[in-house]
């Protein structure tokens, strides 16, 4: 089984600030880093570090070859990554003293894929392969439709949330991975209890497996028959930027190895607890050995 990840490759500009900037305010940062980011790139690196065979589908500017090299060095197959003339996608990230962040995205080359480009990139897939998707690239709904028709298992992490998400063929998604805020946006209501959340998820997605990350409360796997929750690990949080991407990568890698849902959730929680203890996105993702030692 191969995992194809059609996802963003971003250049992250990270600023350490005393607090998140307010409207009309000019704020000095105490430090600055430029690193590889993008939910797609982060998730591919997490998958590779977790031991999965992952092929990344993406684009960045030709001058940012270092980003492709960094993906390759992490163990990601980059045969389907292209250098193009469009500017690379990038993110402006503020991180405050409480490790909260605020992010502004520019799509750049990530938004240049047509439906035909996606179809061409996936021509080497076989039934049973997995396609991982986020919302930072163009024509995600077309990718879902094509993958479902090709009998691929579709994993969707709908972040950042789009205003037209209700137009997506979500019933064709095999596994939906969201945080609490994204789930509320999908359901268009706020769940006051976990019991209500489970009920509403089953009602909205009767044929889909849904994983909800719950921050300090861990994560939960919900489907028509099961409700599995695991706890988070208590650690000193430095930067949560790559927490969700790290969680997803290690979760999906465990599923690919045939691990149980509970074991996969635990792997994701362990990995993300290590990631949040370091500053940065892809640079904070731990290795499989580090996760196993926790």
Instruction: Enumerate the active-site residues.
Output: 245
250 close to 289: Cβ distance less than 8 angstroms: no
Phi-psi category of residue 108: left, alpha or beta, with phi > 0 → left and psi -120 to 50 → alpha: left
Give CA–CA dist 55/16, Å, rounded: 33
Contacts of 46 (CB under 8 A, 6+ apart): 242, 245, 246, 248, 249, 250, 253, 271, 285
Write phi, then psi, for 243 (nearest 5 degrees): -60, -50
139 close to 115: Cβ distance less than 8 angstroms: yes
Give CA–CA dist 135/34, Å, rounded: 22
The 101-106 sheet, strands edge to edge:
31-37, 10-16, 89-95, 101-106
Q: Which residue(s) pair with 132 in the sheet? A: 5, 155
């Amino acid at each position: 089984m191969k995992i194809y990840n059609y996802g963003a490759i971003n250049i992250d500009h990270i600023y350490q600030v005393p607090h998140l900037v307010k409207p009309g305010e000019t704020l000095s940062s105490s430090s600055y880093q430029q690193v590889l980011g993008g939910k797609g790139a982060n998730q591919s690196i997490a998958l590779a570090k977790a031991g999965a065979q992952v092929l990344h589908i993406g684009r960045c500017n030709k001058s940012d070859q270092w980003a492709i090299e960094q993906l390759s060095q992490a163990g990601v197959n980059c045969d389907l990554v292209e250098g193009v003339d469009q500017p690379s996608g990038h993110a402006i990230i503020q991180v405050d003293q409480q490790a909260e962040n605020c992010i502004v995205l520019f799509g750049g080359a990530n938004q240049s894929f047509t439906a035909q480009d996606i179809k061409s990139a996936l021509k080497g897939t076989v039934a049973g392969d997995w396609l991982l998707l986020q919302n930072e690239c163009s024509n995600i709904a077309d990718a879902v439709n094509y993958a479902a028709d090709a009998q691929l298992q579709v994993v969707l992490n709908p972040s950042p949330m789009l205003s037209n998400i209700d137009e997506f063929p979500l019933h064709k998604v095999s596994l939906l991975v969201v945080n609490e805020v994204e789930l509320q946006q999908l359901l268009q209501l706020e769940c006051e209890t976990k019991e209500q959340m489970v009920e509403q998820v089953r009602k909205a997605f009767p044929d889909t497996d849904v994983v909800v990350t719950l921050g300090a409360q861990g994560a939960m796997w919900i489907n028509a028959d099961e409700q599995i929750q695991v706890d988070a690990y208590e650690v000193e949080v430095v930067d949560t930027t790559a927490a969700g991407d790290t969680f997803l990568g290690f979760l999906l890698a465990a599923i690919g190895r045939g691990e149980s849902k509970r074991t996969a959730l635990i792997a994701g929680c362990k990995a993300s607890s290590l990631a949040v203890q370091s500053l940065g996105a892809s640079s904070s993702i731990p290795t499989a050995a580090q996760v196993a030692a926790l």
